[in-house]
Amino acid sequence: MQRNRQPIESKVTTLAAVLIAAALVIAGLGLMLLSVQPWADGTLWEAFLGQVGGLLVATGLLTVAWDLFGRRAFAIEVLAKAKLSADVVESGITRVTDQYLDDVEWGELFEGAVHVDILVAYANTWRNAHRHRLERVAKTKGSRIRVFLPDPNDAATMSNLAQRFAATPESVVAKINEAITEYKSLAQPGGGAVEVYVRAGDALFSAYRFDGRAVLTLYSHGRERRTSVPTWVMAGGELFAFVQGEIDAIATQSTRA
C-alpha cells in the first residue's frame, strides 16, 4: 500500500497545479477580453485590464511549465546531490587530492596518533619528509608503529616492482633494504614498539593508518615517478573499514623483517 502512495500524491499535486494554472489563464483571458470592450477604449481601464490579464495568462502558463518540467528536474538534481552527500558521509572521506606529499594534512594525522600502520613499497621521500614525526610517535610509551614492505628476498615481487618503477630489481632491493633499516632505526629505549614486516606479493595501493584515520593512495600504471596520484583521507566510515581490513589481511601474510 505504501508503495503506491507517492505516485498518487504526485498526480494530485500535478492536477491541483494544472487547475490553478487553468483558472489563472481563464481569468487573464477574461480580463484581456474586457480591456477591448468599447466602454474601456481609450481609458486607463484598457491598459490596466490588458496588463493584468496578460500577467495572469503568463503566470498560469509558467505554473504548468514549472510543475511539469522545472520542479521535477530540480527535484532530481537535489536528490542526486543528497545521495552523493550521503555516500560520502558513509564512506568516511574527509579529503580528496592528487598531491599526497603536499596537500594531505600529515601533521594533523600524526598529532596524538598512538597506533600507526604504514603500507608502502619503500616511500623514501615520504619517510624522510616525516622522519621527525615518526620519531615523535616512536618515543611515546605504549605507541606502536607497524611498517609493511615488499619482501626483498622474493624474486617475483622484486621483478614486478622493478617493472612498475622502471628500475632494475637490484635497485629496488637496495631501496627496500634501506627502508627496512631506516624504519627499524626509529625504535627508541623506553618508547613504543616499532615493527617492520615484509610480504611476498605486489601491493595494489599505499596506505597509512593513524588510529581511526587513514590515507589511501593509488599506484599509477605509468612507469615514471609521479606525485600526482588519487589520494583519499578518511576518518572512520566504510572506506576506512576497507583499509583497516586490508592492513589486517596483509599483516597475516607478512613475516617480521
Query: 192 exposed, middle or buried (CB, 10 Å; 0-12, 13-18, 19+)?
Result: buried
Residue 128 confidence (pLDDT): 94
User: Does the pLDDT at position 107 exceed 90?
Assistant: yes
Same domain, 87 and 98: no
Strand segments (E) across the chain: 93-99, 115-119, 144-150, 193-199, 205-210, 213-218, 228-235, 255-256
Domains contained in the chain, number: 2
- Say which range, 91-95, 165-169, 206-210, 243-247, has the weakest mean pLDDT: 91-95
Domain end call among 67, 91, 115: 91
User: Does the pLDDT at position 217 exceed 70?
Assistant: yes
Same domain, 67 and 99: no
Same domain, 84 and 99: no
Same domain, 202 and 148: yes
Residue 53 confidence (pLDDT): 72
Rg (CA), the chain: 33
Same domain, 46 and 162: no
Residue 224 confidence (pLDDT): 66
Mean pLDDT to the nearest integer, 74-103: 73
Domain end call among 91, 123, 154: 91
* 44 or 215, greater pLDDT: 215
* 125 or 80, greater pLDDT: 125
Residue 93 confidence (pLDDT): 86
Which of 122, 123, 120, 140 is closest to 186 using CA atoms?
140
Secondary element (H or E) of residue 78? helix 71-91
Same domain, 9 and 41: yes
Average pLDDT of the chain to the nearest whole number:
83
Same domain, 213 and 185: yes
Q: Using 50, 70 and 90 to split pLDDT, how confident is the model at 71? A: low
Q: What CATH number corresponds to the domain at position 119?
A: 3.30.870.10
Residue 38 confidence (pLDDT): 72
Same domain, 116 and 81: no
Residue 82 confidence (pLDDT): 55
Same domain, 179 and 54: no
Same domain, 50 and 168: no
* 95 or 15, greater pLDDT: 95
Mean pLDDT to the nearest integer, 149-158: 96
Terminal alpha carbon distance of the chain:
63
pTM confidence score: 0.67
Same domain, 41 and 101: no
- Say which range, 8-22, 121-135, 212-226, has the weakest mean pLDDT: 8-22
Domain end call among 43, 65, 91: 91
Domain that holds residue 173: 94-256
